[in-house]
Amino acid sequence: MNFKQKIGYMAIGCLFTLAGYFLATLGSGGFAPQNASAQAGDKQIIDEIVCRGLSIVNAENKIIVRLVADAEDEGGMISISNKVGFPVATLSVIEEGGSLSIANRVGQAVAALIAEDEGGSLNIFGSNRNKSGARLSANKNGGVLTVRYKGRSKSFY
């Protein structure tokens, strides 16, 4: 096969490829992707999305909302971040139940609500997590309020 024949077959192959592309785009309503109308502002309703994780980003491509399935198959997690990208609210499944964590603007946890098999707890942390804060917890035996101030703890039953 000489060079001219090779070029001829290559040109025929390109024509078949282009013809297939044009026929496919005519069936979809034009050259634009099918979801372009949703991106242009029109609403599009999707009945169900099945995935293991979903991230929603802002205009700067920072993740603002994350929905993920737990790797250990305990359940899932929803994390909401501020515009800087720090997670400020997290709802997650733990082995005994669920937890809600709230953080300040730099992502440091300042409050947590935890539900467990026999009760739950509300934890409030100060800026120095190890030295200040409060915990209100209850289980089948009753409740306790623990206050931590300047590294010292006091519990009330």
pLDDT score recorded for residue 64 = 93
**Stretch 11-29: mean pLDDT, rounded?**
67
pLDDT digits (tens, 9 = 90+) for 60-73: 888 999 999 877 76
Per-residue pLDDT band for 155 (boundaries 50, 70, 90) equals confident
45 occurs within a structural domain: no
15 occurs within a structural domain: yes
When divided into structural domains, the chain yields a total of 1
Query: Is there a contact between 114 and 125 (Cβ–Cβ < 8 Å)?
Result: no
Task: Tell me the residue range of the domain where 18 lies.
Answer: 1-31
Q: Does 89 score more than 70 pLDDT?
A: yes
Q: Does 90 score more than 70 pLDDT?
A: yes
Per-residue pLDDT band for 51 (boundaries 50, 70, 90) equals confident
pLDDT score recorded for residue 95 = 84
pLDDT score recorded for residue 25 = 64
Cα 143–149–150 angle (5° rounding)? Answer: 150
pLDDT score recorded for residue 39 = 57
Per-residue pLDDT band for 140 (boundaries 50, 70, 90) equals confident
Could you report how far apart the first and last alpha carbons of the chain are, in Å?
94
17 occurs within a structural domain: yes
Give the three-class secondary structure for 18: helix
The residue ranking higher by pLDDT, 24 or 30, is: 24
**pTM attached to this predicted model:** 0.63
User: Cα dist. 60→41, 55, 64, 66, 83 in Å?
Assistant: 19, 14, 10, 16, 9
**Stretch 85-95: mean pLDDT, rounded?**
90
10 occurs within a structural domain: yes
114 occurs within a structural domain: no
Q: Does 29 score more than 60 pLDDT?
A: no
Q: How many CA atoms lie within 13 A of 29 on its CB side?
A: 6
138 occurs within a structural domain: no
1 occurs within a structural domain: yes
142 occurs within a structural domain: no
Nearest to 144 by CA among 129, 124, 122: 122
